[in-house]
Structure 1
Amino acid sequence: MFSVTFIKRPILAMVISLLIIIGGLVSMVVLPIQEFPDVVPPTVQVSATYTGANAYAVEESVTRPLEDKLNGVQGSIYIDSSSTSAGQSVITVYFQPGYDLDIAAVDVQNKVSMAEPSLPAEVKQQGVIVDKMSPSIVCMVTLNGDERYDDAFLSNFININVIDELRRIPGVGKADNMGEKKYSMRIWLNPDKIYALNLTPEDIINAVKSQNKQAAVGKIGSSPTFRDQQIEYVLTAEGRLTQVDEFEEIVIKYKDDGSLVYLRDVARVELGAEKYDWNAILNKNPTGLIGIYQLAGSNALEIRKAVGKVMEKVESRFPEGISYSIPYDTTKYVNVAIDNVVNNLFTAILLVIIIIYIFLQSWRPTVIAAVAIPVSLIGAFGAMYLAPGFSINFLTLFGLILAIGIVVDDVILVVENVEVIMYKEPNLTMPQVVKKSMIELIGPIISTTLVLVAVFIPVSLMPGITGSLYQQFALTISFAVMVSSLNALTLSPAIAAIIIKRRKKDEKIFVGFTLFEKGFNWLTDLYTAFITLLVKGRYAVLLLFFGLLGVIYYMFSTTPTGFVPAEDKGLMMVAVNLKPGSSIERTVDVRKEVEDIVARIPGVADVIVIDGYNIITSTLDGSAGAMFLTLEHWNERTAPGMDVNSIISQVFVKTAHISDATVAAF
């Protein structure tokens, strides 16, 4: 018989359990840590910029040709797109859950390549970007400077010195310079002067292009040449212009009298930003802002730690007066919540052990049952690692908490049956007692395991997002139950044969156990009398049963539904949307009013603002603004009215008088 082998060879049983524990411990380190399982369909984003075009022109000349080719890409379920007056086209392709994101990105890139010939030259010059979309933001890093540094300097400093370091962090899907103001030479034409000189803007553009370029001017003395040529010269010439005065010296026109018209004669040249479509603000001060997004399946906590280390390293290169901060951090809640779940896990283990000890009234069988708990739970992590897409999250940890009471059932069955046979047949040795017990129990242990697994496996087969959400919960319990069944057939009988001993006839029983037995017998008698009464009034019980079914149905119908419970994560967002077509200047004015209100609400610690950013569509929109609020620590918000739901309600109430915009907090 299977278990007899391990009764005779207990070291083999222990080695198997140790291997299970080692594999589980290694898996615990490797498995990604998340708040919830990945339920968002894999997405690929296609973005392009048509500078100077309005939303209709972007839609007709960029978005539609791309959509025509992307429609029906293998594995996709639907596509959405956005064309903005900032000249930006964003198309998001959603794929079936579980579809390989790398393959999806390659398929989308191939379709985009087919559409590129039909796009405007200005769009092809800037490029069409295909990127694996990362909807989960880990944190936001800000660069803050004193009065010597404006937002343009901070934004460009990020591009040159910081953002590449962050993009190289394993698991980072995207590091986005939000509110980016890339340096650019801006040329303000004087219409009266260019008209008087019979010039057009196109003439000036062509002059700038022809005189501001990197030219390959060749070599002198390169082959083929004279046989006595001794030296070869590589010619170099001044490349692209970099200073304002260099641009001002660009020749625009040659007059008939031999005089020259320079760019400074018809225009004002200044160093500015490539675009002013969005701004980044931290607590009412201009800032450089980086959004860190994680790839699907990566560990958010490890990414956050790596971001902190990278920023500490690059801080040594910061000029005087510049510092960094991470005011928006989504991992704080995950850290606190998972710590709470882990504490509850250990509390549940302790309670189970205490209850087992009270009922079995001996430390020997209690040790056997207690050993089964860590072996089963840690072994479940090893199975989670082997299963694709699993992570350590609230649902898997919740499944382990529920499994604590289940994984000890088989072990309790083993030790209880051993003690029964031990006293029924006192002539048998302990290995013989355990062997006879396992012969009786091997069938029930396997059957109960299969029944439990049969209960949870169908939950993992549910389709759609619901199935993706609860799959890991159901399978985690199944993994723990299967490991506990293996443990009950191997390690538990091996240890039972070693440590369980018969009690001596004159051995005293602890007085607490005696009192517990009396109390438990009293409860048993009371329960028996109650059941007898119910049997006599069985028709009333049946009527009560159907009445309770009606109450349950009513409560099920009237109770509000939701995808996941709303939690106070210490973070919230505020969207400010003006009428379509509103200028960025008007948006800034309204945003400042909203920001003043929000910043004064008790419990709000930091306010990050992005002007010109639509938080719903994740696109540039001059008539929209987004705010990312970090609340004070939970320990500092214990007073009534300082939880996140109360603060959200205050935002709605205190901004209700603003008629120029719709303000939504969530």
Structure 2
Amino acid sequence: MPQFFIDRPVFAWVIAIVIVIAGLISIPQLPVARFPAIAPPSVSIFASYVGATPQVINDSVVSLIEREISGAKNVLYFDSSADSSGSATITVTFKPGTDAQLAQVDIQNRLKAVESRLPESARRAGLTVESASSGFLMIVSLKSIDGSVDALALNDYLARSIAPELKRVAGVGRVQSFGSEAAMRIWIDPMRLLAYSISMAEVTQAIQSQNVQVAPGRLGDAPAIPGQKVTVPLNVKGQLQTPEAFAGIILRSNADGSRVTLGDVARIEVGSQSSGFTILDGGKSATAAAIQMTPGANALSTSSRVRARLAELSLTLPAGIEYAISYDTAPFVKVSILKVAQTLAEAMMLVFLIMLLFLQNIRYTLIPAIVAPIALLGTFAVMLALGYSINVLTMFGMVLAIGIIVDDAIVVVENVERLMAKEGLSPREATRKAMSEITGAVIGITLVLTAVLLPMGLASGSVGAIYRQFTVSMAVSIAFSAFLALSLTPALCASLLKPIDPAHHQRKGVFGWFNRGFDRLTEGYTSWVTRLVHKTGRTMLVYLAIVGAVAYGYSTLAAAFVPEEDQGSFMTSVTLPAEATAERTRDVVSLFEKHVQTRPDIVNNLTIMGFGFSGSGTNTAMAFTSLKDWGQRSGSVDDEVNAATEAMAAAPEGEVLSMKPPAIDELGTTSGFTLRLQDRVNHGGKALAEAAAQLTQLASQSKLLSDFRVDGLPNGPSVTLVVDRQKASALGVAYTTISDTLSGSVGSTYVNDFPRDGRLQQVIVQAEPRSRMQVDDILNLHVHSDSGKMVQLSEILTAEWSTIPLQVTRYNGYPSLSLSGSAAKGVSSGKAMDEIEQLALKLPKGFAVEWTGQSLQERQSGAQAPMLMAFSFLIVFLVLAALYESWTIPLSVMLVVPLGILGAVIAVHLRGLENDVFFKVGLITLIGLSAKNAVLIVEFARKRQRDGLGLADAVVEAARMRLRPIVMTSLAFTLGVVPLVIASGASSETQNAIGTGLFGGMISGTVLAVIFVPVFYLIIVRLIRPSKV
């Protein structure tokens, strides 16, 4: 093939131009994201049973749903939570690769089988099924500019007009509105009911019967009598629309003509449907909605579309209302991609400077400089065809590939230059001879480098999704590089290069100084190799010591999944004692708001009172704090988290915890590790809580763990109303009458709907707040007996104080508690997780821990890594065996792998980094890079043997001849990753993680490989029969 393109340079250019055009067309069409779809798809089910305790919701709603969905296909795990707000959430996580839409349809179909068995209140509220990632993409808030618009109007407008529009934006999976829409609130005065001898049941029945929609038909409609000339629709105003109209509902008509209306016993207003949340944006009252993406959606594109839709909606906002993006994770995604793109440009510049230093001719340097961008553009075209995106992982793959894709062109150009200088050949003749010498090496290197990446594409789970991004971007870049090295590069060499003076290396200045120094290095290296090939025994002892050091160093590396980044924001969770009111929570939140105002690097803080990722209630709050741009602030997000933690240590009550967002949004809501403590033998809620407390106590004594805690709402006081059923029966009071009265008075009863501004909204009945603040208020309520007599509840009820769970959680059908924590400073997450597993063994039998979310993926990734590296090693060996038609010679190449890993392990230890997914990617890449240098020496040694040289002389000559291209290509790759090693700011932790190991590995792999490979080859060849050499 190279000979064809040497004679047909235009043909080579045409192919290259087609690749460039395809790449330029593809780049604008490729979606941009920080990560691809990494998390397994999940489907969430939301249910509501207002007024019920968490245990009742769990028993009557959650357990029925779980029993049905447990049989769904490809379920990885499912967890559920029911809290004191009357809401329940069941999240089903499916195995990677499952179609999220089909999974959602399957869940919806299964729910139909259980809906009829749910309590009536839960059925009327409905089951909502949505597929969305767990973390928030962004939070949109609405505020009154001048205070002229009250909270009710803001909340209602958000729920009616903004949230539905955002839900329709492509990529949005769920819009969680923290503002409640309006409702017709009917506040009953129990004393007035008693005065009129009217029960709560009579009130709801009157509303149901007098607030109805009527469809009377048409006047004169067919079939009509002969002569009918007109047909018109009939309209009956059956549904009431105003508080005044509802006040006129007749509860009782007396014989004397007097009437008792709803207005006589109740205060009626258009109020809020619920009052569970209070929003503070920058310390001012607001309303807000959180946006969660559909699984696999693109964060940047979704955020951009949401912003565009909000800009359109802002044109029709009512007077006095403005919107704001109070929290957005997309800017970090954009900055991360830009930083990696900058790193890519810096890597290319450094690589080309190295080529100029070695080749010392603009024409020679120009050829690799032309070929490298073409290979990258071709990679973009293939990525579009395969449905990939421009993300941090694919861009990292290209950064790593830069130092590799120039290798083939460098090898070609350097060999052509050597032949022109030493043999006086013309550029065309030198190119022909050079390609005949190195085509095999180029093909061999390409096969090795692509083969070593193949196992990464076979990994499963989230780690497999990460590995595949690297695999595609690097393998495709390398393949394009090899093709261009055999097509465009020889064509350019033959046409662009000019004959050179054999003494051209005798230069003055920097190049002359460099050449003289490198010649001395080559002479010293050749002399050293000559001595080593006669001292193979000692050399192998040193090698064995290196292998032992590698094994020990790797085993002591701290393990982790992915690095935690400074994403420009952090979250703060506030949890007060279970009985705390919203007012007490507001006091603690105010302290945090004051702290935020003193921090110059904070630009905005949005607090949602009543909300928490682990449970909602009046005693909870969650703050989302955004920082200035990375270049505009002096501190990091860790500094802000520590400052907030220190400031809130003075809070008068409750637990306040500030934390960074998770490294991968789709795999959780906060940083650190998460797990579930399961009760697998039904010990009971009290025993489960005691086991959790025991594990927390053990964790607090461990030096490896930090901030270990039980998530969710704590147990809290409760009043149990015990019905004396015998006495109730004797008094003629039905149990359902008691239930209806309590639900409608203390809780609330959703009766039916009323039309308002083109939308149906709820009619809700509830007792006035002042009549349900104390236990005695409840006991003073009255119910109707069968005889019509009013019976006070205190006659048939007794109140007992007790402590109950304010949240009930289950995991895979077992009662469970959610726990989370972090590794202590300087301790890896892997060691911290090992510690938790060891501590869990001390718990009573029947309790077990299960990892979930990102922690589960970390465990799975750690289990796959040894298999992947072993498989990569095996694949490279088989490729080399096929290339050399030998089972033994490839060993001389593969023995260099530990030499590269040595430097990687040392570098990561020195910087205090961890053995995470990105480090493992670097190690697998090092297998191929280390083998590549060995291939160059082995290939030339075999050729010199075929030319008639003795084994030792051939090895020494091959080492001497290939030293310059090995050092040049290795130095090009090493300096190409320097921008990753020294990166700072956004996405720097990830860049450091992958760059540091490769930097150290390439240094040790190059320095030690050029020393040991000649010895390896000599020993292996001597072990086989001469006829096989």
* TM > 0.5 fold call: yes
Counterparts of residues 238-637 of structure 1 (less than 5 Å): 238-388=237-387, 390-422=388-420, 430-431=427-428, 433-503=430-500, 511-525=509-523, 556=554, 559-580=557-578, 582-615=580-613, 617=614, 620-637=616-633
Output the amino acid matched with 1:409: D
Aligned length: 657
Compute the displacement of 1:268 (Å): 0.9
* CA displacement, residues 256-280 of structure 1 (integer Å, 9 cap, x when unaligned): 2222211110111122111111122
1:662 and 1:542 map into 2 onto residues whose CA distance is 60
Who is 1:115 aligned against?
Answer: 114
1:328 alignment partner, SS class: strand
1:548 and 1:138 map into 2 onto residues whose CA distance is 47
Output the amino acid matched with 1:517: N
Output the amino acid matched with 1:513: F
The one of 645, 656, 661 aligned to 1:652: 645
2:142 and 2:622 map into 1 onto residues whose CA distance is 18
Compute the displacement of 1:374 (Å): 0.6
2:36 and 2:125 map into 1 onto residues whose CA distance is 37
2:212 and 2:508 map into 1 onto residues whose CA distance is 94
Change in CA separation of 1:510 and 1:500 when aligned onto 2, cut-off 3 Å? farther
1:421 and 1:375 map into 2 onto residues whose CA distance is 27
Compute the displacement of 1:241 (Å): 2.3
1:192 alignment partner, SS class: helix
Change in CA separation of 1:432 and 1:391 when aligned onto 2, cut-off 3 Å? same
Change in CA separation of 1:506 and 1:586 when aligned onto 2, cut-off 3 Å? closer
2:582 and 2:151 map into 1 onto residues whose CA distance is 16
1:226 and 1:335 map into 2 onto residues whose CA distance is 72
* CA displacement, residues 161-210 of structure 1 (integer Å, 9 cap, x when unaligned): 32333333322223332x22210111111112212322211111121122
1:510 and 1:596 map into 2 onto residues whose CA distance is 67
Cα pair 2:454 2:471 within 8 Å, conserved:
yes
1:629 and 1:398 map into 2 onto residues whose CA distance is 29
Who is 1:155 aligned against?
Answer: 155
Compute the displacement of 1:137 (Å): 2.9
Compute the displacement of 1:481 (Å): 0.6
Change in CA separation of 1:505 and 1:620 when aligned onto 2, cut-off 3 Å? closer
2:571 alignment partner, SS class: strand
2:141 alignment partner, SS class: strand
1:614 alignment partner, SS class: coil
Cα pair 1:581 1:623 within 8 Å, conserved:
yes
2:438 and 2:526 map into 1 onto residues whose CA distance is 29
Cα pair 1:605 1:631 within 8 Å, conserved:
yes
1:184 alignment partner, SS class: strand
1:21 and 1:162 map into 2 onto residues whose CA distance is 44
Question: Considering only aligned residues, what root-mean-square deviation do their CA atoms show, in Å?
Answer: 2.7
Compute the displacement of 1:581 (Å): 5.0
1:256 and 1:114 map into 2 onto residues whose CA distance is 49
Change in CA separation of 1:305 and 1:296 when aligned onto 2, cut-off 3 Å? same
Q: Which moved more, 1:599-608 or 1:444-453?
A: 599-608
Cα pair 1:599 1:607 within 8 Å, conserved:
no
Compute the displacement of 1:330 (Å): 1.2
Who is 1:167 aligned against?
Answer: 167
Compute the displacement of 1:337 (Å): 2.4
2:269 alignment partner, SS class: strand
* CA displacement, residues 616-638 of structure 1 (integer Å, 9 cap, x when unaligned): x3x53333211101122323321
1:627 and 1:554 map into 2 onto residues whose CA distance is 44
Output the amino acid matched with 1:16: I
Compute the displacement of 1:323 (Å): 1.8
Output the amino acid matched with 2:168: R
Cα pair 1:594 1:655 within 8 Å, conserved:
yes
Change in CA separation of 1:424 and 1:651 when aligned onto 2, cut-off 3 Å? closer
Who is 1:66 aligned against?
Answer: 65
2:494 and 2:528 map into 1 onto residues whose CA distance is 41
Q: Which moved more, 1:523-532 or 1:368-377?
A: 523-532
Output the amino acid matched with 1:451: V
* CA displacement, residues 33-73 of structure 1 (integer Å, 9 cap, x when unaligned): 22223321101111111222221221111111111110021
Cα pair 1:278 1:610 within 8 Å, conserved:
yes
Cα pair 2:154 2:286 within 8 Å, conserved:
yes
Output the amino acid matched with 2:491: A
Output the amino acid matched with 2:119: P
Change in CA separation of 1:441 and 1:548 when aligned onto 2, cut-off 3 Å? closer
Determine what percentage of the aligned residue pairs are the same residue: 34
Unaligned runs of 5+ in 2: 660-1029
Who is 2:939 aligned against?
Answer: none
Normalising to structure 2: TM-score of the pair?
Answer: 0.60
1:621 alignment partner, SS class: coil
* CA displacement, residues 539-576 of structure 1 (integer Å, 9 cap, x when unaligned): 88777766666666665555543322222221000111
1:327 alignment partner, SS class: strand
Who is 1:228 aligned against?
Answer: 227
Residues 1:206 and 2:199 are matched in the alignment: no
Q: Which moved more, 1:415-424 or 1:396-405?
A: 415-424
2:618 alignment partner, SS class: strand
Output the amino acid matched with 2:149: Y
2:415 and 2:524 map into 1 onto residues whose CA distance is 27
Output the amino acid matched with 1:662: E
Change in CA separation of 1:480 and 1:277 when aligned onto 2, cut-off 3 Å? same
1:422 and 1:529 map into 2 onto residues whose CA distance is 26
* CA displacement, residues 482-534 of structure 1 (integer Å, 9 cap, x when unaligned): 11111112221222222122136898967442222123223444556777898
Counterparts of residues 5-154 of structure 1 (less than 5 Å): 5-145=4-144, 146-154=146-154
Q: Which moved more, 1:554-563 or 1:355-364?
A: 554-563
2:372 and 2:291 map into 1 onto residues whose CA distance is 39
1:153 and 1:327 map into 2 onto residues whose CA distance is 20
Change in CA separation of 1:606 and 1:455 when aligned onto 2, cut-off 3 Å? same
Cα pair 2:37 2:297 within 8 Å, conserved:
no
2:640 and 2:653 map into 1 onto residues whose CA distance is 22
Compute the displacement of 1:605 (Å): 2.3
1:408 alignment partner, SS class: helix
